Structure 1
């Protein structure tokens, strides 16, 4: 199961960058102050069901703060909806959580009426929920066959096995081939175009447009299409960015770090870095480093070393 990754340092940096106290975060998540302190200290980790509220309390994006590699299964969708398994009985109108528990374990599929109720509560389409169910079933089958972890390995391998794909067409093909297990198979070009358009809120992509992107006939989609596509398939927006674009952000970050180390900048601001700038977490990280270096410099000056 590609559960979300909790990084205590990232969470702490985000909280400090947003100038929020641990008490304020605790109130937003619905836990004690000591719970947040223990999370940041590494003594404990929040339940996955708490991560959406945690991200909101930190004024950050769930996918940025607590990323997940690969596409979600049924349990992941439930956690992203901030629901514990025991709470799903009320959602589907049953006395027990048996139907949801069985589906999440990959033992049996959900009835159509349960799919409708759960999809509405989870905030996804019924198609998305069924595909997550396919992934739960595939994972269970892999465990039974002694191949646990194989879906995750395939999700990061290229279609031809020679390393990660570099072209947009190759990246799209890899996602469609390896991230949609089960009898349904990968979605059609028309379905993918429809889901991207739904994310954008406007029809900008046709079935032919998506086919052209998938096959490499067209490599320059309209603005926003790739970000919407990343949201549809459940990967970071950076997945579809060119290597040059990723390298540019890293380079800008290194320039800022070098300037901070040389003492030529104080509090780093995201100005003059182009339309996108550095992500908030990157800015928070840089600012933390600047503060640490400044503190070290002051200590050294005070001790006469």
Structure 2
């Protein structure tokens, strides 16, 4: 799940409308005015647990000022409660390790930790356990919940890549069923699939495909061949790859404006800083283009 979006220019605009100085905002959230200045300029981003305090100080709803997509995982629950990992660990009387392991999907919480953490996060035990599942890459499937579903079948993976990922060697934004079939057949020996066959896979009326078709689909979408492997199990590597595809696609669609620092096994703090810098540069360039239009 993508983290909460942080747009420093929006924070600056809201702060100024409230006739509030950077130093004043900093005092309210426990940082210096210089730190606020770095947030607003895009040179740095606040830790996730700081976002509720910022929203409160600016008298704005958290979801409005710092939106996010999909249901929360453990990290988001903790951050939305305004707690650091150390503070959450203190609540359960343990080191940071159990909290960090659960949030990064390495080891689940001891059952005795569930109730106190749920109370501290302001959620039910069921909600906390569901968030833990999401931290481990387990996503509940519900009607219409496209963002919460991990694609497993060939058709789901095709639809996922059409929405978020590489569009193949044609360079077009969206591939038609006929174009996908053509790319598959260029890679496969002979006519391995038709446009109607691709449509049936995407619609779910067909689920089986030959190894040649699977390899051809990987070629068409320029992804590793193992992505179109066994549908039954999704290895951590595949899940991380799909999350990365979704994240990069969200940047291209301008759904991600910046990351509040949360850290994960997939994105290190250094990687997030690099991504934030890149997103900031892209936003600046887009603004220059719009100004010239």
TM-score normalised per structure 2: 0.49
